[in-house]
């Protein structure tokens, strides 16, 4: 029973990874987002009227993601755009929608992981014999800001809660289980790089930052804890936003030993998202 439940969770792991990859940046809260005149209107918001097609590769699997601005609204004098991302993999398509705007020389993208999280929960709940009992998210919305100016030392910073928590409790054939994930994001700085990808050559801010993760899985009387560190490199260009993203993660899981006690199991994973085409 334990291996069956675990394999079902792992089966959905690639889609959950795609949610994390495509939601690499976030916004400030409304109190900080006061409109001020902008001398430089260049920012990292995708240009309206275009669609940006990405290839997402993760440990031998691949997906296609298409991102574009699907709507625009006025919020207290601020132009707030809806940035839509469709992720297609394994014959399924997941849609994400995030708010993005530029103010005070920074680009803000609202990070709404719960939308993606609940979609993955629905997929898990649809599996035979699994019933979702409870779900919780803490620390959302979280926020990340990027300096619009492309120069060495530009900042990528966190505003609002820096730690996010996601919990799902379920039963599998009436046996209880749960999965909890805690994320802690560190700020980062940029260097300037001209990056060539299949869609063209772009002058980018190349941000590097880090996310630490703790994942606790409980199945019946067994508890496994995995601690991981994810190093992320993100290239963004004016009028486009994300050009490329690389993620490398090293994790350590505590596993029961056949001889008693526990043993440490180390694993590594990586993913790359690259702009392929601008339509």
Given this model, what pLDDT does residue 118 score?
77
Domain tally, the chain: 1
Residue 25 domain boundaries: 2-278
Where are the extended beta strands (E) located within 43-125?
A: 51-58, 61-75, 78-89, 92-103, 106-109
Given this model, what pLDDT does residue 52 score?
98
Given this model, what pLDDT does residue 34 score?
34
pTM of the prediction?
0.76
Whether the Cβ atoms of residue 206 and residue 158 lie closer than 8 Å to each other:
no
Give the integer Cα–Cα distance in Å for 87 and 173: 31
Q: With a cut of 70, which residues of the chain have pLDDT below it?
A: 1-41, 113-116, 254-264
Given this model, what pLDDT does residue 86 score?
95
Given this model, what pLDDT does residue 263 score?
65
């Amino acid at each position: 029973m334990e291996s069956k439940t675990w394999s079902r969770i792992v089966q959905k792991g690639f889609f959950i990874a795609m949610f994390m990859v495509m939601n690499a940046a976030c916004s400030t809260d409304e109190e900080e987002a006061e409109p001020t005149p902008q001398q430089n209107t260049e920012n990292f918001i995708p240009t309206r009227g275009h669609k940006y097609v990405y290839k997402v590769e993760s440990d031998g699997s691949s997906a296609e993601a298409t991102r574009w601005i699907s709507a625009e609204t006025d919020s207290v004098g601020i132009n707030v755009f809806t940035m839509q991302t469709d992720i297609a993999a394994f014959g399924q398509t997941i849609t994400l929608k995030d708010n993005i705007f530029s103010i005070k020389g920074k680009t803000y993208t609202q990070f709404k992981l719960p939308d993606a999280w609940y979609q993955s929960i629905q997929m898990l709940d649809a599996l035979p014999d699994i019933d979702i009992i409870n779900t919780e998210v803490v620390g959302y919305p979280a926020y990340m800001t990027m300096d619009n100016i492309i120069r060495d030392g530009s900042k990528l910073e966190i505003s609002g809660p820096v730690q996010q928590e996601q919990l799902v409790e379920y039963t599998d054939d009436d046996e209880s289980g749960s999965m909890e994930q805690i994320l802690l994001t560190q700020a980062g700085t940029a260097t300037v790089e001209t990056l060539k990808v299949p869609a063209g050559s772009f002058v980018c801010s190349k941000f590097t930052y880090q996310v630490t993760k703790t994942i606790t899985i409980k199945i019946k009387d067994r508890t496994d804890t995995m601690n991981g560190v994810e190093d992320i490199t993100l290239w963004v260009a004016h009028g486009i936003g994300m050009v490329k993203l690389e993620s490398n993660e090293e994790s350590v899981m505590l596993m029961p030993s056949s001889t008693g006690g526990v043993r440490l199991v180390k694993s590594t994973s990586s993913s790359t998202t690259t702009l392929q085409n601008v339509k």
